[in-house]
Amino acid sequence: MQHQAASMKRNLFHQDYIDEQFNELEELQDDDNPNFVEEVVNLFFTDSVRLIRNVDLALANEPCDFGRLDDLMHQFKGSSSSIGAKRVKRECSQFQEYCNERNIDGCKRAFQGVKQEYATLKTKLDAYFQVAREAS
């Protein structure tokens, strides 16, 4: 099982789902807090639900408040960066570029990318943590 968990983690890196920040989080994990990384990632996922809902609501408002959208995506990008969610972070940056251009259609398309990468990452990390728990 440990081999399978290590292999899954390597694949997450090679496929650019996570970056070095994820390793840095794992270095903070110890015997006193063996589930630290999983807890931090679960906090990210919980908070992301709120951010995604708020972006959805902001995108539905007319006229569009690009400043608010950018602020929300800045929060999401920061949270993503803190756990090493590389692909999510990249999609957030694309969204912010469209905000700066005041391109609502671009924002909506980019937000679909954010949500898709988020959902894929959640599925992959949930599976990784399941295997890692079984291995320990």
Q: What is the pLDDT of residues 57-107, one digit of tens each?
A: 999 998 999 999 999 999 999 999 999 999 999 999 999 999 999 999 999
Q: Check the CA dihedral 100-101-102-105 and report its sign.
A: negative
Q: What is the pLDDT of residues 51-68, one digit of tens each?
A: 999 999 999 998 999 999
